[in-house]
Copies of this chain bind each other. A is one copy, B any other.
Amino acid sequence: MTEILRLSSSDADFDARLNRLLAFEAATDDVIERSVSEILAAVRLEGDAAVLAYTRRFDGVDAQSLAELELSKAQLAAALASLPVAQRTALEEAAARVRSYHERQPLTSWDYEEADGTRLGQQVTPLDRAGLYVPGGKAAYPSSVLMNAIPAKVAGVRELIMVVPTPRGEKNPLVLAAAAVAGVDRVFTIGGAQAVAALAYGTQTIPQVDKIVGPGNAYVAAAKRRVFGTVGIDMVAGPSEVLIISDGSGKPDWVAMDLFAQAEHDELAQSILLCPDAAFLDAVAASIDKLLPTMPRAATIGVSLAKRGALIRVRDLDEACRIANHIAPEHLELAVHDGDALLPQIRHAGAIFVGHWSVEALGDYCAGPNHVLPTSRSARFSSPLGVYDFQKRSSVIRMSKAGAQRLGKVASVLAHGEGLQAHARSAELRVEAD
């Protein structure tokens, strides 16, 4: 029997047990913090030389100059050309679909004119330059390159600079191919906190960016948190999660495999099923037992399900939606006969997959929406990565003389109320003008 927590919403201590299951706080590690602090300071002071020294030390890559660590567009194109045709086609189709979805997102500038000729608006512009961190090694996901790079390019970011470590010089051709497909402008084979520092502060070779996105290990996450303010950063993600709401329709094997797909990411990943049908829950448990031994990543899946998974019996689907809103899951599958009937009850989730055909794996790769999603209950207040993250707004205020003279009186009253006399005077000067 695969170990997985079984709960019922009618248990006396259900709320407390659910909250314990959900609890996750990223530990901050003093050793990592000190190390990252040193690396950031060194790169800020010494630039290229420090980046080269850390790359030699941590990645075992010995270069005389950072220019040597830049990959040409020809090298990216060659990586794409080297792929088996099925992989290349899949990557290109995924990119096209992600682009098509994100092209519906951009904010546009607007303004409006008032009766006295005053015009107010907001001007939307892309970031000048963005940095994309891509992990090396086992967590190197070409799909993440697409999901982070394409919204930036759709937003109109002029220069998108990717950094990806190549420990001992090993390059991942799928990652480089994804960079080619996504239209990444420059690629440097550096990583870790030193790469984050180079992007945040700029060096002799690497220009300063305005925002850094993309996943990374604990050093990268700590570095991103520390450079926030100097540059923008995306969210620092917690473990990945799926919540499945089932009405007892559908196939237990499908539900089990969807839980596995989350659990295989790592041991902290979280897979939870809510269902009012006790027999269906038992059937899913049986499917888990049957299918787990067939999975290449069975060990990771088993630990994840045992530590952080749960099969939860609920009273009905309304209660399931209430619990889902409390959990605010990164991924929510409505594995029910009539998903559209439930959808209006869902207020908080990163991505919502409606109906039995809408499996999370499609969203991870190629449905079109972004797979960078808010984790750890943050869908209560944050959103999937999107074109919005690579645009910013400026308010534009064009006062007419009549508008300035009328509103200047209002501003003067309020400024005096706040004790800010120069504010009041600067408004009054316009009121008093001929």
CB-nearest residue of chain B to A112: B104
Say whether A54 faces chain B, with CB atoms less than 8 Å apart: no
Which of B380, B400, B401 is in CB contact (< 8 Å) with A127? B380
A381 and B417 contact, CB distance less than 8 A: no
Task: Return chain B residues, CB-CB under 8 Å to A397.
Answer: 351-354, 358, 362-363, 367-369
A157 to chain B, nearest CB (A): 11
With A87-B413, A364-B411, A426-B261 already in contact, the answer to whether A210 and B398 are too (CB < 8 A) is: no
Given A120-B368, A369-B395, A426-B261, answer yes or no on A408-B229 (Cβ-Cβ < 8 Å): no
Q: How far is the CA of A257 from the CA of B421 in the complex (A)?
A: 10
A343: CB under 8 A from chain B? yes
Cross-chain contact A411 with B343 (CB below 8 angstroms): no
* Binary per-residue interface labels of chain A (353-391) against chain B in the complex, 1 for a CB within 8 Å, 0 otherwise: 111011111111111111001101011111110101000
Asked whether A264 and B423 contact (CB < 8 A) given A349-B394, A352-B396, the answer is yes
The docked-state distance in angstroms from the alpha carbon of A232 to that of B382 is: 7
For A257, list chain B residues within 8 Å (CB).
422, 425-426, 429
Task: Kindly state whether residue A204 has any CB partner on chain B within 8 Å.
Answer: no
A408 touches B362 (CB 8 A): yes
Among B231, B376, B383, B410, point to the contact of A365 (Cβ < 8 A): B410
CB distance from A388 to the nearest CB of B (A): 8
When the two chains form their complex, are residues A295 and B354 in contact, meaning their CB atoms are under 8 A apart? no
Asked whether any CB of chain B lies closer than 8 Å to the CB of A415, the reply is yes
Verify A94–B414 contact, CB threshold 8 A. Answer: yes
Please give the distance in Å from A182's CB to the nearest CB on chain B.
14
Whether A400 pairs with B357 at a CB distance below 8 angstroms is yes
In the complex, what distance in Å separates the CA atom of A297 from the CA atom of B423?
A: 11
Question: How many positions in chain A have a CB within 8 Å of any CB in the partner chain?
Answer: 117
A110 touches which one: B104, B296, B408, B413 (CB < 8 A)? B104
Interface residues of A in 390-434 (CB under 8 A from B): 392-401, 403-404, 407-411, 413-415, 417-427, 429-430
Evaluate contact between B370 and A381: CB separation under 8 angstroms: no
A395 and chain B: residue at smallest CB distance: B369
B381 A264 Cβ-Cβ under 8 A: no
Q: Which of B125, B350, B363, B388 contacts A348 (CB 8 A)?
A: B125
**CB–CB B413/A90 < 8 A:** yes
| Known A254-B426, A414-B91, A414-B366; contact A350-B395, beta-carbon cutoff 8 A | yes
State how many angstroms separate the Cβ of A430 from the closest Cβ of chain B: 6
CB nearest to A86 among chain B residues = B413
User: Is A280 located at the chain interface by the 8 A CB criterion?
Assistant: no
Besides A90-B417, A263-B422, 14 more A-B contacts (Cβ < 8 Å) are A86-B413, A91-B414, A127-B380, A174-B417, A211-B381, A232-B378, A260-B426, A261-B423, A354-B396, A357-B430, A358-B404, A359-B404, A361-B411, A383-B394
A–B complex contacts, Cβ < 8 Å, 8 sampled: A97-B407, A229-B376, A251-B429, A253-B429, A352-B396, A362-B399, A370-B395, A379-B394
